[in-house]
Structure 1
Amino acid sequence: MTAAASSREGVPHASLTFHGAAGTVTGSRFLLQTDRSRVLVDAGLFQGERAWRRRNWEPPFVDPGSLDAAVLTHAHLDHSGYLPVLAAHGFTGPVWCTARTAELAEIVLLDAAHLQEQEAERALLHGYSKHDPPRPLFTTEDATRALRLLRPIAVELLQRVTPDIDVRLRPAGHILGSSFAEVDVAGCRMLFSGDLGRPGHPLLSPPAAPHDVDVAVVESTYGDSLHPAQDEEHLAAVINRTVRRGGSCLMPAFAVDRTPVIVHSLVRMQAARRIPRLPIYVDSPMALRAWEVYRSALADGDADLRPDLKPDDLGWDENVIRVPDAAGSEALNEPDRPCIIVSASGMATGGRVLHHLRAQLPHERNSVILTGFQVPGTRGQALADGAQHLKIYGSYVPVHAEVVSVLGFSAHADCAQLVTWLSRISDPEVVYVVHGTETSAAALAKRLRKQLGWTTVAPRFGERVRLV
């Protein structure tokens, strides 16, 4: 939109405020405002460093009752996890998302509420919370209230959200149901990338090509790095030497998408005899429920999934063992033989993986294999950086196990893939680079300026910019 067009009489003012994912990787919250409307694009939790996590507990950045609607790009907590807080404080508007995102969000938000309630109870029992009494950020009741607001819409369908804001959700290839949002705000055409997937994802179809826009808001999780071409060789080497030591491999993994991708790869590697045929335990109730959503999508011929997938690609190999109950999980703290344990959460911020880490980190025979991006301030990042001790449930645990990062399983596009995807649009007025560390956001902004000649900005937290 040109300056002349934006100054036309009768055209409403419109602005965008970065209430999250600015200066940090998590907490995606982008507020669109016009003279008539308030719409939030994504409503995520801050994760990682304490200074950011504390913001989750602050009073809402906007009067939740004043929001007309929200748009959800996908179900991960750093994009959806603040919805229960908004709902608890009076937000009642529709939340537009894809049908698969609605399915996965129910699993993710209810699980997050359960873990927070469980953690509050544990903190009360052992006295290590700074809250008195300890309390969850949101409850199961809050999550249920938020889930009632979800309004699934078909991919590629233009949806009128308010009288002056329209939204179209298009495939992003990051997790099942993930989308990027093309938004018309009072005549200004916008693109919100959400989390953009890799074109070579083993289960998902590549992201759709974006349409031309005036303003783009793009993630930069890997804005300063390239993914390795193939990490299975690295993974096989770690597993083989761990088995030779008589140890077990613990793989913290995101429950949604990452777990089926990793297990799919492990089964293929075992079939090819690149690693021993060890038991593969999937120890995450959320991952098991999410896996069933993937299996249902495959049976339905969902276009999000690669067309060349076969039913067995998301089936249960006889060597893959589901661990739905707590007793079975506890037995894996000290396995009686070498095995592979895939357990959530992927950044060791909560869930069953914490029990396994506490039991297995002190032993040199074991290995911990990190398979995804580790947000600064998380236990996963501490392990990746070579921590000698890790604080779990209020006590420090020594780290003697081998810790290895295997990053070839990432579900995010790297810097080159982001530039290639964005280059399909023609000369936007400005690109805002978000959802990355300050270093990665600045690196991607610089690359876009240099390679495409675009105006690019890494916005500050809380910064407001005018659109029209």
Structure 2
Amino acid sequence: MKKLKIHFLGASGTVTGSKFYLETEEVKILVDCGLFQGVKELRKQNWERLPIDVSEIDYVLLTHGHLDHCGYLPLLVRQGFRGKILGTGPTLEIARIILEDSAKIQEEEAERANKEHYSKHNPALPLYTKEDAAFALKFFERVEEGDNLVLSDNCSATFLYNGHIIGSTYIEIDLHGKRFVFSGDVGRQEDELLNAPKQPEWADYLFVESTYGDRQHPDENVGHILTGLVKDSLHNRGTLIIPSFAVERLQSLMYQLWKLYKKNRIPNIPIFVDSPMGNNVLEVFEQFPSWHKLTLEEYHNMCNHISIVSSYAETWEIIDDPRPKIVIAGSGMVTGGRVLTYIKQLGDMETTSILLVGFQAEETRGRKLLEGATELKIYGKYVSVKAKVNHLESLSAHADQPELLTWMDSIKNIPEKVFLVHGEKAAMEVFKGKIHEKYGWNCHVPEMHEVLEVLL
């Protein structure tokens, strides 16, 4: 009888830091390798070595390229990993962009902290450098969606389309006759840019995200809400700031605003996309047309309608521009990026509006804004916030509870165990009850660093 150890190294009892380690005598696989975000106690874990022998890992399988699923890779390599990092073409491109950007931000923030002396550490150091990120990229190896990949004599893996962002997949790992299904982040059933997720048909062990396991996204009229916010900004001669995730949400917002302009529902208000990473992601959409719904003509028309910001000097020109305007800038949870500069400079004006889209993790600035914060700590100093804060939950790239259940509907067998991951504890408990009520399946909510043994 063969044994498998499952190590829950992240996204267990929390949303971020996805890392699931499958350890057998024959093969050792890490599914996702993400950074923790949000709560300080979690972020501190990014600085700690993993409690496993990293040099023994044969493969890292990436479900998609978001920071909380790939951002730890430079540290993994620094700790001795020398295996293969597998992902779809768009996923590896997105991961490259995100890792390079993350390293740049880490270095810039360490430099700023040392210059302005607001860090407790002397000197403040980056979590990893651009050189660390570049070295990690050397281990990338592209896989094709739907192909069955032989990883060892008794193990194979298949990456299957699941929406969420461009390149995103769920992963089926067949190991000694048992199937382990990792949902990754499941996308929406109806999305402006992406197709509906494919669905697994068999799972002996199912690892399913539960970000929105406790709720249904509101039935919002996105076009109507965006039109109202744009008209308010015009009336107030103010700025609409939209903190956005650089991957898919930013492109979706661009598409929504371009469509509204095309239909004469909003005037030709200046729209600026100020996210170097988001601009690079746009090129991935052009590079991989089969992964999304946009035609090449629509893509170019959309990009021509919107001003793409390239330099930080332009950021300040936009801030000083007195015209009513829309600014879409990273990051989506207001944890970093150029959106901090806009909020720092314009957030204390009552003519400014802030529109949050997508999930806001605990203790992020985005979550604090949602909860009514009237000041934010930015670059070591507190900044007053008088801007009106709005939230569009239906623009989330994550499936809600009914959509997650729909994703599981095609599973023909009764899984031996369902693991609820990538969610806050309250959401997972509600989702656990719902799965038991609908399917009668045995669910488990793993703790961080929990290790389970499975007989194969």
- TM-score in terms of structure 1 length: 0.94
Is it true that 1:23 corresponds to 2:13 in the alignment? yes
Is it true that 1:275 corresponds to 2:249 in the alignment? no
Is it true that 1:343 corresponds to 2:329 in the alignment? yes
Q: 1:33-74 CA deviation, whole Å, 9 max, x = no partner?
A: 112322100000000010110110112232221212111110
Is it true that 1:352 corresponds to 2:338 in the alignment? yes
Q: Unpaired segments of 5 or more residues in structure 1?
A: 1-10
Q: 1:222-271 CA deviation, whole Å, 9 max, x = no partner?
A: 11111123322222222222221111100000111111100100111122
Measured in 2, the distance between the counterparts of 1:455 and 1:26 equals: 24
Is contact 1:20-1:29 (8 Å) kept? Answer: yes
Partner of 1:213: 203
Is it true that 1:365 corresponds to 2:362 in the alignment? no
Within the candidate set 227, 236, 239, 1:245 is matched to: 236
Within the candidate set 446, 455, 458, 2:433 is matched to: 446
Is it true that 1:325 corresponds to 2:311 in the alignment? yes
Measured in 1, the distance between the counterparts of 2:42 and 2:321 equals: 36
- The 5 Å alignment of 1:91-102 reads 91-102=81-92
Q: What is the CA distance between 1:438 and its match in structure 2?
A: 0.5
Q: What is the CA distance between 1:419 and its match in structure 2?
A: 0.4
Is contact 2:347-2:385 (8 Å) kept? Answer: yes
Q: 1:261-306 CA deviation, whole Å, 9 max, x = no partner?
A: 00100111122232232011010111011001102222xxx1x223
Is contact 1:108-1:286 (8 Å) kept? Answer: yes
Measured in 2, the distance between the counterparts of 1:243 and 1:62 equals: 55
Q: What is the CA distance between 1:76 and its match in structure 2?
A: 0.3
Q: Unpaired segments of 5 or more residues in structure 2?
A: none
Residue aligned with 1:199, SS: coil
Is contact 1:73-1:181 (8 Å) kept? Answer: yes
AA matched with 1:454: W
Within the candidate set 246, 254, 266, 2:245 is matched to: 254
Measured in 2, the distance between the counterparts of 1:56 and 1:185 equals: 30
Answer with 154-163 or 385-394: which moved more.
154-163
Measured in 2, the distance between the counterparts of 1:151 and 1:228 equals: 39
Partner of 1:294: 285
Is contact 1:34-1:186 (8 Å) kept? Answer: no
Is contact 1:166-1:183 (8 Å) kept? Answer: yes
Answer with 329-338 or 201-210: which moved more.
329-338
Measured in 1, the distance between the counterparts of 2:139 and 2:16 equals: 23
AA matched with 2:295: K
Partner of 1:429: 416
Residue aligned with 1:213, SS: coil
AA matched with 1:239: V
Q: What is the CA distance between 1:316 and its match in structure 2?
A: 4.2
Partner of 1:313: 298
Q: What is the CA distance between 1:157 and its match in structure 2?
A: 1.0
Is contact 1:334-1:359 (8 Å) kept? Answer: no
Q: 1:138-187 CA deviation, whole Å, 9 max, x = no partner?
A: 11111111111111111111112234331110001111111100001232
Residue aligned with 2:266, SS: coil
Is it true that 1:197 corresponds to 2:187 in the alignment? yes
- The 5 Å alignment of 1:131-210 reads 131-210=121-200
Measured in 1, the distance between the counterparts of 2:104 and 2:370 equals: 28
Is it true that 1:463 corresponds to 2:450 in the alignment? yes
Answer with 60-69 or 146-155: which moved more.
60-69
Residue aligned with 1:333, SS: helix
Residue aligned with 1:467, SS: strand
Q: 1:6-50 CA deviation, whole Å, 9 max, x = no partner?
A: xxxxx3101211110011110000010112322100000000010
**Aligned CA-pair RMSD:** 1.2
Answer with 76-85 or 444-453: which moved more.
444-453
Is contact 1:101-1:176 (8 Å) kept? Answer: yes
Partner of 1:79: 69
Q: What is the CA distance between 1:312 and its match in structure 2?
A: 3.0
Measured in 2, the distance between the counterparts of 1:163 and 1:355 equals: 53
Q: 1:336-388 CA deviation, whole Å, 9 max, x = no partner?
A: 20000000111111111110110111000010110111011111111111101
Measured in 2, the distance between the counterparts of 1:247 and 1:284 equals: 20
How many residues are aligned here?
Answer: 452
Is contact 1:29-1:43 (8 Å) kept? Answer: yes
Provide the identity percentage: 38
Partner of 2:388: 402
Is it true that 1:105 corresponds to 2:95 in the alignment? yes
Is contact 1:295-1:315 (8 Å) kept? Answer: no
Within the candidate set 32, 42, 45, 2:35 is matched to: 45
AA matched with 2:271: I
AA matched with 1:281: F
Partner of 1:3: none
